Structure 1
Amino acid sequence: MVIFAEHALLPGGWAQKVRISAADGHITAVTQGAAAQPGDTIVSALLPALSNLHSHSFQRAMAGMTEHRIAGRDSFWTWRDLMYRFLDRLTPEQMEAIAALVFMEMQEAGYAAVGEFHYVHHQPGGAPYASIDELSQRIFAAAGLTGIGLTHLPVLYSYGGAGEQPLVAGQLRFGNSVDGFAKLLEAVRASAATLPPDTRVGIAPHSLRATNPADLARALPLAAGGPIHIHVAEQPKEVADISAWLGARPVEWLLANTPIGADWCAIHATHMTPAETEALAKTGAVAGLCPITEANLGDGPFNGPGWLAAGGAFGIGSDSNVRISLTEELRTLEYSQRLRDIARNVMVEKEGSVGQAIYVGAAKGGAQALGRKAGEIAVGNLADLTAIDLSHQTLCALRPDQILDGLAFAAPDTVVTDLWSAGRHQVRAGRHVHRDQIISGWRKAVSGLLASI
């Protein structure tokens, strides 16, 4: 596989007339000032593709169903109740079709890989499937069809709330003891062996409220060197509940009681004190930011300036998948900071291009969070690559040093022309190679799902 790019964003900055060769999913050569050769895939501009570090793919089917105000004050917690009721109807076949749509939409938006934070394991009511990892296998089938790079993150979810509250309603489909979770992981890893070699399996203790200190300590070694993701400090109520139960705020407790480090991803981490922000950033953990979902659920803005000042790494994810848009995630991240601080150009240290800072930061941090050797166009890295069209009206007037500002703040996702996931050329001329098949499966799945609700 060889790509010729009129412009390419390399680790040292923008370069012109670049040929990139790849084999076995990895970049083998990067040549600047080259000429296109017969058989090359020719693109306008080539970027290191982002990894979407946080997804609950099944929630895509709920998009548009939870935006009707009910009596009283709507919040994350009222949304969660609706999600649990939705889960009572979801079948394995529907989950597979929904995940395929989500993964396709991510690739068409410019994401080469996804971290699937997968917490639906069982049948409605909590009984296991004949194959304990049935629903993980459905995610694997969707990843196989779409060709997206997958970091699968089976979730440990043992309790219904802080203080070891019992599981209720839709939570019963999530539940596992640590021993049950270990058996699930064993099956998941065996099933994942059929996927491409860039596939990763990590673990995701759902949150402090869904586990307890003893179980968390037993579960962490099960990561076996893979990524560890955890929801933390998303909502003020969560912070209050954990503080009342454990005597410390969630991030404060994690810093004092776990070996948190560069293989961890702290999802949301929205409600932190300045001291927590600085200390967590210095562990090397990635902040997993999901700006569209955090805005949709009313979570609040992340402390971006404090995080950057402490040298923190970050990436972006689409979480509930209410809308899958790489460009909109980037601009929502920056705009949330502007609205809070009544300022402009916040998510960049000192001075420089905000678009480039958040794109490059998210590319590196997302790859780190998913355990992928990616995030830069460099020899030895995975060929996770996105091509964009610089002739598009939102980009054509810009200098090279303004391109990523145009992408982040002006362009639609349709500027993406091509996408490679570990060298798999899955998006061509703006369309996924299996788009028609995936859309057909989605329509069938959602029609059956709506008929049952």
Structure 2
Amino acid sequence: MKQLFARHALLPQGWARNVLIAWDGAGTLTEVHANADGAPDVGYVLPGMVNLHSHAFQRALGGLTERAGSTLDNSADSFWTWRDLMYRFAATITPEQVEAIAAQLFVECLRYGYTALCEFHYLQRDPQGEWYGHLAGMAERIAAAAAASGIGLTLLPVLYSHAGFGAQALRPEQRRFHTSVRDVHDIVAALEPLRSSQLEVGAAPHSLRAASVEQMRELVDGLPAGRPLHLHIAEQQAEVDQCLAFCGQRPVDYLLSQLAIDARWCLVHATHLSGAESARLAASGAVAGLCPTTEANLGDGLFPLAPYIAAGGAFGIGSDSHVSHSPVEELRWLEYGQRLARQRRNVAATAATPDVAEFLWQGALRGGAQAAGRPVGALAVGKRADLLVLDDAHVNLDGIDAADVLGRFLFSGNDNLVRDVLAGGQWVVRNGVHINQDSIAHRYKLALHQLREVSR
């Protein structure tokens, strides 16, 4: 049995004082007891955040796609031109490099406060479109990277069969991503021995562009019960227009009319929604997977957060292409984007939870846990022992009331206030440094050097 005594800890019902937190050797919380007797070990403790949407290999692209196109007004630059750059990058990357990049990403996510991550995994085949020995080989590289870092993982092998609505044939540069429904079922089955308290396996139809609703039904029917399901949807206006031309409906309306979307599902981005779609998505029980820094970087647009909150919709956050690795930045810009669009302050709040920072952190914890399909996202008995110890010696947190901690954490400065991180009952970050930080960084640098050599 291991334990930690916190002067203040954020529990599902809010901040509590003098909280004894204990966990067993398997990394499961066995006791969370407020108003305990004794001398606290640490000041402020938060549940670790869930990163519900990741393409790990894209970490190595960060900052390398920020050059304007041929037009002076940049009108030609969009998600679609970025996607072409990403395809070229993905064309030569090896399994060893994928593992090295993913491990580096996971270390960075842990250091900034994510203790669990959902990997939307679509880089499956070799550059010629053939399998690496067996179908789950690339997915196993992601699992190995997670194990090296200590982060909790939900692996989501992707169904990727088409290049566009109406079952358009894949382009040559998409051949590394190609999977059929049978392929995904086989990958899920091959990953079964890896499932543990730290690793879950679900599946992800890539999008309405890349998988038909008939394929999605077949995919869901063949999965073990209760597994998480993720899907990109309505990320760009062009996708909405294509869907309207294909079936006469907007993407979320079309999906909800064709499939039984429920709490197992995470609809990633869902940026361009009508008012009716927002209400229907909220009522479905699915999670809206929001990735504000990537959506801003790609010029996607802004999710309609206020009406979605008013309808009781569930949401979580992800770092997607990893231009940021910080849940603070995702949540800050989730709120700031709404303020800019609506020209008002304090959008992400309700009458029951008027504190914006608490609403965002607690809401993202709940939605992230649901999307991950794992017992995470709260300091509560039976959940995973995933927690953050904040640096209460930092000037931003010195001597403040617990009620103000999240506000300072999310909306004050850019220093990383996460000092120590416990993931699955193991201390993986101490004093801001990951336990395997240097060795993982060395492998990452080697992978980047190799990739640069190939691209010359």
TM-score by length of 1: 0.96
Are residues 1:70 and 2:73 paired? no
The aligned runs of 1:47-58 (5 Å cut-off) are: 47-58=46-57
Q: Is the 8 A contact 1:327 1:413 kept in 2?
A: no
Structure 1 residue 128, shift from structure 2 partner: 1.1
* Equivalence for 1:408: 410
The within-5 A match list for 1:325-344 is 325-344=326-345
Aligned to 2:188: 185
Where in structure 2 are the equivalents of 1:19-418 lying within 5 Å?
A: 19-23=20-24, 24-36=26-38, 42-72=41-71, 73-190=76-193, 192-193=194-195, 196-224=196-224, 225-350=226-351, 352-396=354-398, 398-412=400-414, 414-418=416-420
C-alpha distance in 2 between matches for 1:264 and 1:11: 23
1:355 touches 1:404 (CA, 8 Å); kept in 2?
yes
Secondary structure of the structure 1 residue equivalent to 2:209: helix
Quick check: 2:213–2:259 contact (8 Å CA) kept in 1? no
Distance 1:170 1:407 in 2: 42
Instruction: Tell me if the contact between 2:232 and 2:270 (Cα under 8 Å) persists in the aligned partners.
Output: yes
Percent of aligned positions that are identical:
46
Cα deviation code 1:238-268 (max 9, x no counterpart): 1111121122111001111101001100100
Structure 1 residue 11 displacement after superposition: 2.3
Contact (CA 8 Å) 2:135, 2:183: kept in 1 or not? no
Which sits farther off after the overlay, 241-250 or 405-414? 405-414
Q: SS of the residue aligned with 2:443? A: helix
SS at match of 1:172: helix
**8 Å CA contact 2:184, 2:203 repeated in 1:** no
TM-score (ref. length: structure 2): 0.95
- Distance, in Å, in 2 between the alignment partners of 1:444 and 1:413 is 28
Q: Distance in 2 between matches of 1:35 and 1:97?
A: 45
Shift of 1:35: 4.2
Aligned to 2:31, what secondary structure does the other structure show? strand
1: CA distance between counterparts of 2:175 and 2:396? 47
Partner Cα distance (1:411, 1:50) in 2: 19
Q: What corresponds to 1:446 in structure 2? A: 448
| Structure 1 residues 188 and 259, CA gap change in structure 2 (3 angstroms) | same
Distance 2:274 2:321 in 1: 26
CA distance in 2, matches of 1:302, 1:229: 17
**C-alpha distance after superposition, 1:290-345 (max 9, x if no partner):** 01000000011111101101101111000001221111111010000001001110
Cα shift at 1:36: 4.6
Give, in whole Å, the separation in 2 of the partners of 1:274 and 1:65.
Answer: 36
- 1:378 shift after superposition: 1.2
| 8 Å Cα contact 1:326-1:413 kept in structure 2 | no
Aligned mates of 1:214, 1:13 — CA distance in 2:
44
Q: Match of 1:210, SS?
A: coil
Task: Please report the RMSD computed on the Cα atoms of aligned residues, expressed in angstroms.
Answer: 1.4
Report the Cα distance in structure 2 between the residues aligned to 1:13 and 1:63, rounded to whole angstroms.
36
Q: Which amino acid aligns with 2:438?
A: D
Query: Residue 133 of structure 1: CA displacement?
Result: 1.2
SS of 1:150 mapped into structure 2: strand
Trace 1:1-16 onto structure 2 (pairs within 5 A).
1-16=2-17
Work out the CA distance in 1 between the residues paired with 2:70 and 2:187: 40
Q: 1-side partners of 2:124 and 2:94: how far apart?
A: 11
Cα distance in 2 between the residues matched to 1:306 and 1:380 = 33
Q: CA deviation at 1:411?
A: 4.4
The one-character-per-residue Cα deviations of 1:345-380 (angstroms, maximum 9, x if unpaired) are: 001123621011101100111011101222221112
Partner Cα distance (1:330, 1:19) in 2: 28
Measure how far apart 1:181 and its partner are: 2.3
Structure 1 residues 278, 242: CA separation in 2 closer, same or farther (over 3 Å shift)? same
SS at match of 1:208: coil
Number of paired residues? 447
Distance 1:48 1:15 in 2: 13
